[in-house]
């Protein structure tokens, strides 16, 4: 090893007095080895024989045992010629048994390879299962009536096939995870399945999709469920706002067809979202606090222009909050009819809409429209009404 000396190595060379190039190279090699040994992570305990390596010898023993059972059945039930030697009989039966016992595994291996490529390989899998059932059936039927041979040889045949299927499936899943074609293994959640089944199920899904650990998956699951709950609450609120908007839109038209056409033309959900987004919560909070007697020294703030705060604008465009109407004491004596109440409400507020009158009197909109005063006809009718900004307006009605 040769090259430019590092500062630490150079200091060692100077201290030790190594003038030759060979001595310098040896010093560099020793220093590099020491640095590498110091930076190497501590050696961990390693198992010499892994669990998967034990599958191969057991599979060989199981196949050999099943083949012995197959040979036994063949020698007992096959009609060999009388002059055929025993060695030839055994060789023929061993060949047939080996083909029958290994055919199912060979077909299953082909199916596993096709499934790693993304195919379902249904035909190969069915073929392998049929051959395995046939091989086990030959052993069971051939030794029928003898408990030990049926149990031992049948179990060896079935266990060898199932062992290969499970082992190949595990290796296939590992290969697919390395290629990013399969989700990661989620962490174990233990008793959380009983205490919080919904949160645990969502956490397991997020951990499998994004590779989160235990804590991160639980936190992400709680945040996702809280966001979904908030979205459901907001959706219900928007649906209620849309129904109220539909009532207001339909009340603006006298004819039922016109009202229905207007309600169907407008995007009520969009209006509901816009109203929800433009609400001035600070103004409403201060207003309610003032009515409850818990308002601060700042008083009731002015609402923001153009926001749905329950305020109205005058002719100059300045918002003026609507003062709450004091409740009137119920008069003693004869109770007014609904028609008289509607007429009195219209007389007090001539410019009020039917929906406003219905809300004030706590009756349905259809009832207010039924008793709504009909406009006078004929001639020039001069009517005076007070506008929202307090200016008297004179209008002609034909």
Span 213-268, pLDDT tens digits:
888 999 999 999 999 999 999 999 989 998 998 888 888 888 888 888 888 888 88
What's the chain's average pLDDT?
76
Tell me: do 139 and 194 sit in the same domain: no
Q: Name 392's bridge partners.
A: 386
- Looking at residue 112, what is its pLDDT? 92
Residue 307 in domain: no
Burial class (CB within 10 angstroms; exposed 0-12, middle 13-18, buried 19+) of 93:
buried
Sign of CA dihedral 323, 329, 334, 337: positive
Instruction: Give the contacts of 62 (CB within 8 A, at least 6 positions apart).
Output: 156, 157, 159, 160, 163
- Looking at residue 387, what is its pLDDT? 37
Tell me: do 103 and 198 sit in the same domain: no
| Residues composing the chain | 398
143, 69 contact by CB (below 8 A):
yes
- Mean pLDDT for the stretch of residues 345-369: 81
Q: Which helix or strand (DSSP H or E) is residue 380 part of?
A: none
- Looking at residue 289, what is its pLDDT? 86
- Looking at residue 322, what is its pLDDT? 46
Q: Print the domain residue range for 358.
A: 338-397
Tell me: do 195 and 249 sit in the same domain: yes
Question: Which of 30 and 394 is assigned the larger pLDDT?
Answer: 30
Q: What is the largest CA-CA distance in the chain?
A: 134
Helix/strand/coil (H, E, C) string of 57-123?
HHHHHHHHHHHHHHHHHHHHHCCCCCCCCHHHHHHHHHHHHHHHHHHHHHHHHHHHHHHHCCCCCHH
DSSP 328: P
Residue 355 in domain: yes
Q: What are phi and psi of 319, to 5 degrees?
A: -75, 140
232, 242 contact by CB (below 8 A):
no
Tell me: do 87 and 134 sit in the same domain: yes
Residue 310 in domain: no
93-to-81, 140, 330 alpha-carbon distances in Å: 14, 17, 109
Q: How many structural domains does the chain have?
A: 4
122-to-109, 116, 170, 181 alpha-carbon distances in Å: 13, 13, 18, 20
Question: Which of 123 and 47 is assigned the larger pLDDT?
Answer: 123
Tell me: do 117 and 233 sit in the same domain: no
Q: Which helix or strand (DSSP H or E) is residue 397 part of?
A: strand 392-397
Q: What are phi and psi of 78, to 5 degrees?
A: -75, 135
- Considering 173-177, 334-338, 366-370, the range whose residues carry the highest mean pLDDT is 173-177
Q: What is the rounded distance in angstroms from the CA atom of residue 312 to the CA atom of residue 307? A: 10
- pLDDT class for 295, splitting at 50, 70, 90? low
Q: Is residue 374 predicted with pLDDT exceeding 60? A: yes
Tell me: do 29 and 59 sit in the same domain: no
Lowest mean pLDDT among 82-91, 217-226, 302-311: 302-311
Residue 332 in domain: no
Instruction: With H, G, I as helix, E, B as strand and everything else as coil, classify residue 310.
Output: coil
- Mean pLDDT for the stretch of residues 289-314: 56
Q: What are phi and psi of 69, to 5 degrees?
A: -65, -40
Residue 261 in domain: yes
Q: Is residue 319 predicted with pLDDT exceeding 80? A: no
Residue 320 in domain: no
Tell me: do 17 and 61 sit in the same domain: no
Return the closest-CA partner of residue 136 out of 107, 182, 95, 97: 97
Tell me: do 209 and 96 sit in the same domain: no
Residue 67 in domain: yes
Q: Name 313's bridge partners.
A: 319
Question: Which of 232 and 305 is assigned the larger pLDDT?
Answer: 232
Q: Is residue 285 predicted with pLDDT exceeding 60? A: yes
- pLDDT class for 394, splitting at 50, 70, 90? very low
Burial class (CB within 10 angstroms; exposed 0-12, middle 13-18, buried 19+) of 159:
middle
Tell me: do 98 and 215 sit in the same domain: no
Kindly report the pTM of this predicted structure. 0.47
Q: What is the rounded distance in angstroms from the CA atom of residue 192 to the CA atom of residue 214? A: 11
- pLDDT class for 140, splitting at 50, 70, 90? very high
Q: Out of 251, 271, 286, pick the residue that ends a domain.
A: 286
How many angstroms from the chain centroid is the CA of residue 179?
Answer: 23
Tell me: do 356 and 238 sit in the same domain: no
Q: What is the rounded distance in angstroms from the CA atom of residue 371 to the CA atom of residue 342? A: 7
Q: What are phi and psi of 47, to 5 degrees?
A: -80, 125
- Looking at residue 210, what is its pLDDT? 86
- Looking at residue 14, what is its pLDDT? 56
Give the angle 25-31-37 at the CA atoms, nearest 5°. Answer: 135
- Looking at residue 22, what is its pLDDT? 62
Question: Which of 303 and 397 is assigned the larger pLDDT?
Answer: 303
Span 15-66, pLDDT tens digits:
555 455 566 566 666 666 655 554 444 444 344 456 777 788 888 888 888 8
Tell me: do 68 and 125 sit in the same domain: yes
Residue 317 in domain: no
Tell me: do 171 and 215 sit in the same domain: no
């Amino acid at each position: 090893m040769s090259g430019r000396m590092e500062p630490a190595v150079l200091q060692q060379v100077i201290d030790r007095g190594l003038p030759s190039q060979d001595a310098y190279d040896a010093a560099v090699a020793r220093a590099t080895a020491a640095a590498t040994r110091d930076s190497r992570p501590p050696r961990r305990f390693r198992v010499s024989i892994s669990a998967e390596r034990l599958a191969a010898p057991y599979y060989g023993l199981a196949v050999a045992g099943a083949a012995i059972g197959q040979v036994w059945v063949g020698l007992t039930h096959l009609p060999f010629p009388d002059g055929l030697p025993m060695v030839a009989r055994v060789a023929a039966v061993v060949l047939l048994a080996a083909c029958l016992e290994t055919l199912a595994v060979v077909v299953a291996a082909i199916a596993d390879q096709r499934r790693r490529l993304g195919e379902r390989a249904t035909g190969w899998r069915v073929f392998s299962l049929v051959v395995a059932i046939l091989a086990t059936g030959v052993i069971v039927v051939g030794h029928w009536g003898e408990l030990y041979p049926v149990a031992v040889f049948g179990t060896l045949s079935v266990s060898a096939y199932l062992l290969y299927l499970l082992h190949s499936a595990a290796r296939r899943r590992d290969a697919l995870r390395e290629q990013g074609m399969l989700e990661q293994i989620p962490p174990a959640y233990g008793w959380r399945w009983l205490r919080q089944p919904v949160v645990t199920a969502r956490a397991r899904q997020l951990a499998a999709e994004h590779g989160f650990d235990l804590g991160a998956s639980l936190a992400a699951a709680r945040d996702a469920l809280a966001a979904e709950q908030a979205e459901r609450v907001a959706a219900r609120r928007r649906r209620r706002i849309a129904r109220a908007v539909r009532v207001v839109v339909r009340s603006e038209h006298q004819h039922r067809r016109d009202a229905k056409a207007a309600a169907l033309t407008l995007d009520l959900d969009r209006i509901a979202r816009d109203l929800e987004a433009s609400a001035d919560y600070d103004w409403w909070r201060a207003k309610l606090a003032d009515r409850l007697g818990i308002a601060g020294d700042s008083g009731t703030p002015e609402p923001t222009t153009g926001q749905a705060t329950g305020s109205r604008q005058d002719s100059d465009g300045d918002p003026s909050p609507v003062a709450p109407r004091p409740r009137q004491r119920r008069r003693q004596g004869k109770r007014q009819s609904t028609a008289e109440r509607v007429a009195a409400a219209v007389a007090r507020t001539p410019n009020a809409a039917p929906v406003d009158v219905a809300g004030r009197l706590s009756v349905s909109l259809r009832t207010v429209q039924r008793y709504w005063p009909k406009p006078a006809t004929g001639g020039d009718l001069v009517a005076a009404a007070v506008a929202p900004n307090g200016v008297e307006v004179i209008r002609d009605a034909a």
